Structure 1
Amino acid sequence: MPDLAAVADLEARLGRPLTPDEQARAGALLADASALVRDFTRQEITPVTGDTLVLRPVGVLLRLPQRPVTAVTSVSAVGPTGSVLGALSGWSWDGRDKVDLSCVSPAGSWPLSWTGPLPDTYQVIYDHGRATVPPGIVAVVCAMVLRTLLSPSMTAGMVAERIGAYNYQLQQGTGAAGASVVMTSADEKALARYGPRRFGTIALEAG
């Protein structure tokens, strides 16, 4: 997955180019911060094409967990053994995050031997993600990286360092700096709006 911020975003906030030492670490730190943001929000954020997952509906509705949804390619029934029974027709997508199964009918690939009740799980193939990463997410990723990149020590939690007669202090407070990026409570608060909506559809697996 692509990083959620770039070196140029870091330099814009610093007001200067990164030093060679900072450049050497920036790529890995941006990747780490992006991964932490995705884990926290449970959103891929950047565009994904052909994502495949199996969902159990609530009533006749399937709610797609990744946002924003940009296209729904197919909806297929899934049998008791987990095999895909065949594509369905008649479903509708509301243009946001819901697929309505109320008018579903089997397509030609529906097995003629299927005589029981309709399946209770469905495979959905859909596209999702934002063409541009929201500025709020870019800001959090950059903050996480810069706290680490500008730390005077590779020791986590150390915010001040003395060398001879010189004393350098990066910040006051908890000092979430060190060798690795760390997500603070302020970062989590800023990211809360990008997390998944609460709803009843159960995602059983992801492709």
Structure 2
Amino acid sequence: MASLATVADLEARIGRTLTTTEAARAEALLADASGLIRGYTRQHFEQVEDDVVQLTAAGSFIRLPQRPVTAVSSVVAISYAPVPDLTLPEGTWGWDGIDLIEVYPAASDVWVSLPESLYDAAGPGTFRITYDHGYADIPADVVAVCCRMVLSVLLAPTMAEGLVQERVGQYAYQYGQAAGQASPGATVRLSDADRDDLARYKRTSGTIAVRVR
């Protein structure tokens, strides 16, 4: 999975080309920052077509895990005896155009091909969904957070984590006097400000998702 920001994004923010030393670390730091952002938000962000996930419904509703959802092409009921896998026909499920799928009850006026014994049953609980999701361009605020995380590490005068002040000969550098303003060290981290900026993307609840491919 590609990083959420690029070296060019970093250079645009500092107004110069990265040095050889900075460039040697930049790609790894971008990958690390992207991983932390995706882990926190539970979102991939990039465009994916025909993604297949297996989901457990909450009642008759299935919440798709990745946003924005751009299309839903298939809903398959899993282990629905006596038919192991049943592709649900049009008219037996609906998508709200955002991220919610509703599977309609197994009534005879909707499900015209089910065995008679299954009508009015509770219906299957697990589904395999094929859908498209993601952004054509990574949102600008996500790129900004990714760059901020990387540049705070990349431009730090030292990789000694937690250092507040450093002196070399007559040169002294003060990182800051407020809490949390020590040297960030050699690895990227999500700050409280980063979490605040990413809050609108964070998934806090939904149906259980298992990635199929």
Q: TM-score range by the shorter chain?
A: 0.7 to 0.9
What is residue 14 of structure 1 aligned with on the other side? 14
What is residue 190 of structure 1 aligned with on the other side? 197
Indicate how the Cα distance of structure 1 residues 71 and 103 shifts in structure 2: closer, same or farther if over 3 A, else same. farther
Indicate how the Cα distance of structure 1 residues 14 and 121 shifts in structure 2: closer, same or farther if over 3 A, else same. same
What is residue 24 of structure 2 aligned with on the other side? 24
Q: How many residues align?
A: 202
Once the two structures are TM-superposed, the CA of residue 30 in structure 1 deviates from its matched residue by 0.3
Task: Tell me, yes or no, if structure 1 residue 100 matches structure 2 residue 108.
Answer: no
Indicate how the Cα distance of structure 1 residues 172 and 71 shifts in structure 2: closer, same or farther if over 3 A, else same. farther
Of residues 166, 186, 189 in structure 2, which corresponds to 1:179? 186
TM-score of the superposition, structure 2-length normalised?
Answer: 0.84
Equivalent pair of 2:80/2:86 in contact (CA under 8 Å):
no
Provide the aligned C-alpha RMSD in A.
2.6
User: What are structure 1's unaligned runs of at least 5 residues?
Assistant: none
> What is the identity, as a one-letter code, of the residue corresponding to 1:64?
L
Higher mean C-alpha deviation, range 126-135 or range 43-52: 43-52
Equivalent pair of 1:148/1:180 in contact (CA under 8 Å):
yes
Greater radius of gyration (CA) = 2
What is residue 156 of structure 1 aligned with on the other side? 161
TM-score of the superposition, structure 1-length normalised?
Answer: 0.86
CA distances 1:25-62 after superposition (whole Å, capped 9, x unpaired): 00000000000000000101111222222222233221
What is residue 2 of structure 1 aligned with on the other side? 2
User: What are structure 2's unaligned runs of at least 5 residues?
Assistant: none
Task: Tell me, yes or no, if structure 1 residue 68 matches structure 2 residue 52.
Answer: no
What is residue 138 of structure 1 aligned with on the other side? 143
> What is the identity, as a one-letter code, of the residue corresponding to 2:95?
W
